[in-house]
A and B are shown apart, each in its own frame.
Chain A
Amino acid sequence: MTAPATPHRGTDDTPGPLRRETDTVPTAPHPGTDSPSATPVRDTDDTPGPPRRETDTVPRPEGGTLSASPRPGTDTVGGTRRRRRGPRAWLAVLPLVLFAGVFFGLPLTALLLGAVTRTEPAGPGAPESATTTSLTGDHLALSLQGPYLGSLLGSVQLSALTALLGGVLGVLVAQAVVTSRSGTLRTAALTASGVLANFGGVPLAFAFIATLGISGVVTQLGDLGALGWDLYSFTGLTVVYLYFLIPLMVLVTVPALDGLRPQWREAARNAGATPWQFWRYVGLPVLAPSLLGGLVLLFGTAFAAHATAAALVGGSVPLVTLKIADALSGNVLTGQENVALALGLDMILVAALVMAVYLPLTRRSARWLR
């Protein structure tokens, strides 16, 4: 069995009805989700009292965002299963591979090709429809210069700031929701988060214009204009992004926080740890993969957002997605399509860079969990 189960079983063995009660109450709702691991646990357990044991082994949080870390039982169970699955198992994955190939691989290839090639009408004398294609680094070079570079940096700056703010605020809200005793609050907060996290684009921009724009209702009521409030700025855009990023963070961290068992905290307290020490040495290390994953998700969402910013700030906050739209589907600039593709490639590289930092960090935390 793996680490998370150990403290659990340990606290279990301590007698006392109170402990037993807290043990079962928060954990009951999903019997059966973990049934494969339930059997081995019961088998190895030699203390009597089977009815309690049964519910005891269940408490893995629903769905489990922590599932990136290995689950107790998967090793042994998977071992026998794998052999039974046989060599044709890959057939089941084929549709996914095909789908990804057609809708992700091909566009990606087209993007890569477009970013590094140039197509021009063939020289005089050739038929009109003939073109020549040649390899070039011009588009990429151009995409890393002047206003294009500025937009790339602007996007990274905005995404990093909003991801960080949204991450911290989102975790605080999620912790409040998880530790609250009110089931109604929990349901309401999670439902609202689900809705708000998907509220974006032009409708969101207009909602903010109507409330916090220059002649917006709230701006007028609070006389925010005199206080220096400007919706159509970097700050304004940050606030608008947080509107959908915080709920997103709540959604992805609540399951992880649910997985942080009260027993661990109690064990830490018993051992004389302060709350700060508990968070520093137990809570945060366990949560780290989920929190980092959440931050990366927020960064990606903010980095790729376009419509909201387009409607709100036009060119006054340079963002790479706006530049791509300008070059790809505008009424002004001609012949910039390949620069747009090069900018797309730049975005992929930034995302890859973020993942390159994120993945080793998660792996480290995951190893700790093992």
Chain B
Amino acid sequence: MPRSSGRRAAALLGAAVLTTLTAACGAAPEGPAAGPAGAKAAEATSATAFGGMKELVAAAEKEGALHVIALPPDWANYGEIIKAFQAKYPKIKIQSENPDAASADEIAAVKSRKGQDRAPDVLDLGIAFARSGAEEGLFAPYKVTAWDKIPDAQKDADGRWYNDYGGYVSIGCDAKRVPNCPKTFADLLKPEYKGKVALNGNPTKSGSAFGGVYAAALAAKGSFSDIQPGIDFFGKLRKSGNFIPVESTPATVEKGETPISIDWDYLNAGYADQFASKGVDWKVTVPADGVYAQFYSQAINKDAPHPAAARLWMEFLYSAEGQNLWLKGYARPVLLPAMTADGTADKSFVAKLPQVEGTPAFPASAELDKAKATLAEKWDKAVS
């Protein structure tokens, strides 16, 4: 008892002085799962290391809690996913922290609370953060049961991160305010869309807005290694007055302030559902001239306070049940091709996905870095 209250005091202090004291906290003893079993769980790289799923569940239930971070309930159906996990494993209490956090916040939480029992267990990261975090040694390698079915291009060979769900850049459009909804990026240049086109935020900050610029680059004869045409495209849209720099949110969509919003297809499709009852006819198109898909990635905190629960969460997400829940939220789970082949994918959800022509390609790490550097340097000038 005195030990744990001492640790809580240390945690409080740590919160107050953040970076300066965290180095000291890093040396604190392991979380509640200390002891041989906890150490074993923290090193387990697959369910078999526990002796099977049953043992994994038992170990996780013994830990009794799971810390998740940055999982917005209205994003890719995470609200339902958390509820389903909670219903299936009632003994493991999910504590959801800062649902609207960004990837950078997640990494900061892992680093600043290293070794504390308040640290997040599992992370849902943008691909760049998954890669850089793995290089910094922040994640525990773990291969879920369905590991072999995840395409090689979408996972770290060592199992430190693996893509979970993703979507395509799409054009959402309020059919009541816009008589002819645009189908392609080239369409957006037409004068009839003056003052109507928005992104979900600033592309130097928002992942989906960045995807929008990248897709526009592909549409305008650019490539993964050349994002400049995309920046020029939005510069042109801004000059013609078509592009409005306001951040599109559910509120602006409902209000009609952003009648055309470039965003992930799962978010746009979610708006369509959400606002149908409010009289907004929200149409979603994946533009054929700029097909760009991006996946998010899962990772386990290397110093997770609940190592077994964290691994069980991964097993749940990569089960047919977890994958179908993402699918229900219009996100495309990474196992979708495999699940379509073996018939475990829910067909009614698949049928509701926005149509896509062609197969997606993914930029290499270096191409992505270069695109971001170019964007950070040129974006302001292009649109101001």
Q: What 1/0 mask marks residues of chain A from 309 to 340 whose CB sits below 8 Å from any chain B CB?
A: 01111111110001001101111111101000
A314 contact from B136, B246, B256, Cβ within 8 A: B246
Q: Complex Cα distance A32/B26, Å?
A: 57
- A332-B246 in contact given A128-B137, A214-B195 (Cβ < 8 Å): no
Interface members, chain A 284-327 (any B CB < 8 Å): 310-318, 322, 325-326
Interface bracket on A:
35 or more
Contact residues in A for B20 (Cβ distance below 8 Å)? 106, 109-110
| Alpha-carbon distance A231/B132, docked complex (angstroms) | 38
Chain A neighbourhood of B177, CB < 8 A: 215
A331 contacts B377, C-beta separation under 8 Å: no
The residue on B at minimum CB distance from A325 is B205
List residues 325-364 of chain A with CB under 8 A from any CB of chain B: 325-326, 328-335, 337
**Could you tell me the distance between the alpha carbons of A316 and B135 in the complex, rounded to whole angstroms?**
34
B245 at the interface (CB under 8 A from A): yes
> In the complex where A232-B246, A311-B247 touch, is A334 in contact with B202 (Cβ < 8 A)?
no
The CA of A109 and the CA of B19, in the complex, are separated in Å by 10
Query: Does A216 sit at the interface, judged by CB under 8 A?
Result: yes
CB of B187 within 8 A of chain A? no
In contact, A331 and B103 (Cβ under 8 angstroms): yes
Q: Does residue A107 face the partner (Cβ distance < 8 Å to B)?
A: yes
Contact of B206 among A103, A106, A215, A331 (CB under 8 A): A331
Within B20-62, which residues are at the interface with A (CB < 8 Å)? 20, 26
Asked whether, in the complex, the Cβ of A213 is within 8 Å of the Cβ of B257, the reply is yes
Chain B's nearest CB lies how many Å from the CB of A148? 9
- With the chains together, A331 CA to B201 CA distance in Å? 11
**Can you list 13 contacts pairing A with B, beta carbon distance less than 8 Å?**
A106-B16, A106-B18, A110-B20, A114-B19, A128-B137, A213-B257, A231-B246, A312-B246, A313-B246, A315-B203, A316-B384, A329-B108, A333-B104
Is B255 touching A210 in the complex (CB atoms < 8 A)?
Answer: yes
Interfacial residues of chain B within 257-315, with CB under 8 A of chain A in the complex: 257, 259
Q: Does B329 contact A (CB under 8 A)?
A: no
Is residue A189 contacting chain B, with contact meaning CB distance below 8 A?
A: no
Given contacts A106-B17, A110-B18, contact A129 B137 (CB under 8 A): yes
Q: Which of B103, B199, B245 has the most CB of A within 10 A?
A: B245
Establish whether residues B105 and A315, one from each chain, have CB atoms under 8 Å apart when the complex forms: no
The minimal Cβ–Cβ distance linking B38 to chain A, given in whole angstroms, is 18
Residue on B nearest A151 in the bound complex, by CB: B380
With both beta carbons as reference points, the residue of chain B lying nearest to A130 in the complex is identified as B137
Q: Are B136 and A121 in contact (CB under 8 A)?
A: yes
Contact B255 A337 (CB under 8 A): no
Residues of A whose CB lies within 8 Å of any CB of B are 102-103, 106-107, 109-110, 114, 121, 128-129, 146-147, 150-151, 206, 209-210, 213-216, 225, 230-232, 310-318, 322, 325-326, 328-335, 337
Once A106-B20, A129-B137, A315-B383 are accepted as A-B contacts, the answer to whether A209 and B257 lie under 8 Å apart by CB is: yes
Distance in angstroms between the alpha carbons of A150 and B384 in the assembled complex:
11
- The distance in angstroms between the C-alpha atoms of A224 and B283, with both chains bound, is 28
Q: Could you tell me if B372 and A332 are in contact, using CB atoms closer than 8 angstroms?
A: yes
Set of chain B residues within 8 Å of A151, measured between Cβ atoms: 380
Contact A330 B132 (CB under 8 A): no
Size bracket, chain B contacts: 35 or more
**Closest Cβ neighbor of A330 among chain B residues:** B205
Closest residue of chain B to A322 (Cβ to Cβ) is B202
Given A210, A311, A329, which contacts B105 in the complex, CB threshold below 8 Å?
Answer: A329
* Residues 195-218 (chain B) with a chain A CB within 8 angstroms: 195-196, 199, 201-207, 210
Task: Bits for B92-133, please: 1 = Cβ < 8 Å to A, else 0.
Answer: 000000000111110010000000000000000010110010
Q: Which of B206, B255, B257, B259 contacts A330 (CB 8 A)?
A: B206
Question: Which residues of B sit under 8 angstroms from A214, Cβ to Cβ?
Answer: 195-196, 244, 257
> What CA separation (Å) do A206 and B376 show in the bound complex?
27
Cβ A215 vs Cβ B257 within 8 A: yes
Question: Is B205 a contact of A102 with CB atoms below 8 Å?
Answer: no
- Is the beta-carbon distance between B202 and A147 smaller than 8 angstroms? no
Q: Which residues from chain B contact A107 at a C-beta distance below 8 Å? A: 18
Given contacts A110-B20, A215-B257, A225-B195, contact A332 B204 (CB under 8 A): yes
CB contact between A315 and one of B17, B104, B128, B379 (< 8 Å): that residue: B379
Residue on A nearest B136 in the bound complex, by CB = A121
**Residue B355 is within 8 A (CB to CB) of chain A in the complex:** no
Contact B255 A209 (CB under 8 A): yes
Query: Other than the known A216-B257, A332-B375, what 7 A-B pairs have Cβ atoms closer than 8 Å?
Result: A102-B17, A106-B16, A316-B238, A326-B204, A330-B103, A333-B104, A334-B129
Judge whether B351 is part of the interface by a CB distance below 8 angstroms. no
| B252 CB-CB contact with A under 8 Å | yes
> Which residue of chain A is the closest to B18 with respect to CB atoms?
A110
Residues of B within 8 A of A333 (CB): 104, 204-205, 372, 376
Do A316 and B105 have beta carbons less than 8 Å apart?
A: no
A330 in contact with B102 given A121-B136, A209-B252, A315-B245 (CB within 8 Å): yes
Q: How far is the CA of A110 from the CA of B22 in the complex (A)?
A: 12
Q: Does B1 contact A (CB under 8 A)?
A: no
Bound CA span A225–B103, Å: 38
Let me know if B366 is at the binding interface, CB within 8 A. no
Contact present for B202 and A326 (CB under 8 Å): yes
Q: In the complex, what distance in Å separates the CA atom of A1 from the CA atom of B104?
A: 60
User: Which single residue of chain B is at the shortest CB-CB distance from A234?
Assistant: B384
Q: Which of B102, B195, B247 contacts A310 (CB 8 A)?
A: B247
Do A146 and B377 touch (CB < 8 A)?
yes
